[in-house]
Structure 1
Amino acid sequence: MGPRPAVADVRRAVRAALADLPAGSLALVAASGGADSLALAAATGFEAPRAGLRAGLVTVDHGLQDGSAARAATVVELAAGLGLDPAEAIRVEVGRAGGPEAAARQARYAALEGAAKRLGAAAVLLGHTLDDQAETVLLGLARGSGVRSLSGMAARSGLYLRPLLGLSRSTTRAACAALDLTPWDDPHNEDARFTRVRVRGRVLPVLESELGPGIADALARTAVLCREDADALDAWAGSAYANARVDFACSDIAEGPSAAREGGEGVALAVSEVEGLPAAVRRRVLRRAAIEAGSPPGTLSAAHVLEIDKLVAGWRGQRGIDLPGGVAAVRRCGTLILARKPG
């Protein structure tokens, strides 16, 4: 008799995610002890040796709740029974930058990357599900930050693999029940102070009630389609960016950024190569140029990129603009220059 359907579904998803890893390499599961990561850990412990791989577990203790260290220890204790070795808990200090959710996420990913490097892991598996993807798409829609934001989380992103993006939370819970695993329900997942919790507990249920079932699936499909479009546009923008890069040689730069005046670091683009591009591609080129010139991607907003775009597509002889990170953008002699300002 084979495994229960939910267990088979999770194992199948993990098997596909592990297929491209080098033989003998280590795959680490990031496990919180919740149903999603617990089902993922069990499936990875089952599938990895059958694929000629090693599997381990890392749990991150954010130290934000009473008893967090004990819960992390409990997750580590489960690892051996699931076929996961090595297994370890990592305590992190969560800062305040960007709010509690962002700060915890930053600390968690830093810990996971550090563990992967130290242990020589080829991949870190994350337990994000179809429901998480739907919530991410809605949050991106609320930010109004474009198709890349609507593309949600990637199934594969550098070190990280997300095998469960096509499966629901109900599937991971059913898998845990079938395997007699008792997941931990994080009280933060019910705390309405967090935006994602409100989306999960209030927004999605209203959409399901008013528009009918299947909203989460539809949003996850939207993420896949948007990611395909965004990847294609990014590839086009990458080629256009390479074609537009020039060495700046104009002497009429009295009001330009100091780095450009002095021949230092900066980016210069030929306006003639950029202005005829479709807006979606052109603005990607401009965003890339601003980031390479030193503007932090986390604070460089769509509004900033639109202002740069006016120097190309809405040129009226206007002065340059200031960008985050002490970068300025200015147009001189048919060239768009982005570089750090003095001091």
Structure 2
Amino acid sequence: MAGLAPPVAAVRVAVRRALLGERPERRVLIACSGGADSLALAAAAAFVAPRLGLHCGLITVDHRLQEGSGARAESVAAWGREAGLAPSIGVAVDVTGRPGGPEAAARAARYEALCATAREVGASTVLLGHTRDDQAETVLLALARGGGPRGLAGMPSRREIDGIAFLRPLLDIRRAETRAACLALGLTPWDDPHNADPAFARARVRGALPTLVHTLGPKVIDNLARAAALIAADNAALDALAARAAEAARDGDGLSAATLAAEPAATRTRVLRLYAAELGAKALSQRHIAALDALVCQWRGQGPVALPGGIRVARRDGRLLQV
């Protein structure tokens, strides 16, 4: 009898490790577009989850951005039902009228649908099919956009949104392995034309990555992903320091400017970001944080800083506070 194909085994091991690390108490959902990465993930989860005593379902999100997307979503959901994933459903979303570009709008709508569906079906955990190649692309995008440490840290292996845990088991798996796994299992993945459309920034990076590999060597993808992991660890340490610094700087309903000024820039700006988020400001840019920091370190009597959501922060009597 032929042995298990190594790519299939690698994906299954990655999924098992992620689920054992999370130990979800309720149903697990797989976010599956029908592409090779998420299809290999779903097939692995269909095998692994029941053996860990877990119920596993599938959700595919129809962004309604391409002709025939509804029928394709239904075909993915139908495959999920055949694979024993229950529930296995397609959810349509509306991406029009959302802030940001088309990629950001689609991503926001997708995560809203994933969170809402997880709550509806009683799932505590959603698995995502991002691979090591996706991680390398994310780091390159952050570099190209002048991103700070948070962007350079890439995608976390675990993230919680509205009480739902999102896991990325395949961040140590290469894209070629997921395709090989699908081939070994007799699965036919869907190739999203948006992945090759130069109108999308990630597609342009994806097209440029082979050139980078050719120029710098085959280890470049692994090295980019490794750099992201190292930066993520540094971020976690700095965030812990910033949490303590925020408590020390707390002065009533504001922050002490003098206490903040004594902090290194790396922790001080994190405290300012935490404070702005506490006030309800979202989608903060580096420009917003720099303006808040100027109230602390370059105080010349300037007026309030306007943050997203109509929030204004000013310096009054040596404190930063909402006005």
TM-score class, shorter-chain normalisation, is over 0.9
User: Following TM superposition, by how much is the alpha carbon of 1:4 offset from its aligned partner in structure 2, in angstroms?
Assistant: 0.5
> How big is each residue's C-alpha offset from its partner over 1:74-101, in whole Å with a ceiling of 9 and x where there is no partner?
1112113323111111111122421111
- AA aligned to 1:242 is E
User: Do structure 1's residue 113 and structure 2's residue 97 form an aligned pair?
Assistant: no
Matched letter for residue 6 of structure 1: P
Provide the secondary structure at the position in 2 that maps to 1:19. Answer: helix
Partner of 1:272: 258
How far 1:206 moved relative to its partner?
A: 2.5
CA deviation vs aligned residue, 1:267-307 (integer Å, no higher than 9, x gap) = 411123211111000011112112222322x1x21122112
Counterpart contact for 2:25–2:124, Cα < 8 Å = no
1:24 and 1:231, CA in 2 relative to 1: closer, same or farther beyond 3 A? closer
AA aligned to 2:125 is A
* AA aligned opposite 1:191: D
Structure 2 counterpart of 1:149, one-letter code = G
Structure 2 CA distance for aligned equivalents of residues 273 and 24 of structure 1:
43
Is structure 2 residue 268 aligned with structure 1 residue 282? yes
2:152 is aligned with what amino acid?
L
The CA distance in 1 between the partners of 2:234 and 2:144, in whole Å, is 20
Match of 1:123 among 110, 125, 135: 125
Number of the residue aligned with 1:231: 236
| Residue in 2 that maps onto 1:259 | none
SS at match of 2:251: coil
- CA offsets 1:304-343 (integer angstroms, 9 cap, x no match): 2112212212234444433333233322322222x14xxx
- Structure 1 counterpart of 2:100, which letter? G
Q: Which amino acid aligns with 2:195?
A: N
Secondary structure of 1:29's match?
Answer: strand
CA apart distance, 1:64 = 1.4
Match of 2:183 among 144, 167, 177: 177
2:253 is the counterpart of 1:210: no
* Distance across 1 between alignment mates of 2:277 and 2:77: 40
Q: Which region of structure 1 is more displaced relative to structure 2, 79-88 or 321-330?
A: 321-330
Question: Matched residues in 1 for 2:85 and 2:128: separation?
Answer: 15
* % same residue: 54
Distance of 2:319 and 2:141 partners within structure 1: 37
- Give per-residue Cα distances to partners, 1:21-55, cap 9 Å, x unaligned: 44762111011111001000000000001111111
For the residues of structure 2 that align with 1:94 and 1:311, how far apart are their CA atoms? 37
Aligned counterparts of 2:198 and 2:58: Cα–Cα separation in 1? 30
- SS of 2:64's partner is coil
Counterpart residue number, 1:309: 293
Deviation at 1:216, TM superposition (A): 1.2
- Are residues 114 and 83 of structure 1, via their aligned partners in 2, closer, same or farther at CA, if it must alter by over 3 Å? same
Indicate the residue corresponding to 2:246 in structure 1.
241
Quick check: 28-37 or 312-321, which moved more?
312-321
- Verify: 1:98 aligned to 2:100, yes or no: yes
Unaligned stretches of 5+ residues in structure 2: none
The answer to whether the 8 Å contact 1:11/1:43 transfers is yes
Q: Select the structure of larger CA radius of gyration.
A: 1
CA distance in 2, matches of 1:321, 1:24: 44
CA distance in 1 between counterparts of 2:305 and 2:38 reads: 46
Tell me, in whole angstroms, the C-alpha distance in 2 between the residues paired with 1:304 and 1:276.
20
Corresponding residue number in structure 1 for 2:142: 140
Q: Does 1:166 pair with 2:172?
A: yes
Does the 8 Å contact 2:24/2:125 carry over to 1?
A: no
Q: Given that residues 24 and 54 in structure 1 are in contact (C-alpha distance below 8 angstroms), is that contact kept between their aligned partners in structure 2?
A: no
Residue 324 of structure 1 is matched in structure 2 by: 308
Aligned residues: 317
- The whole-number CA distance in structure 1 between the counterparts of 2:40 and 2:258 is 54
User: The residue matched to 1:98 in structure 2 has which SS?
Assistant: coil
Tell me if structure 2 keeps the 8 A contact 1:56–1:85.
Answer: yes
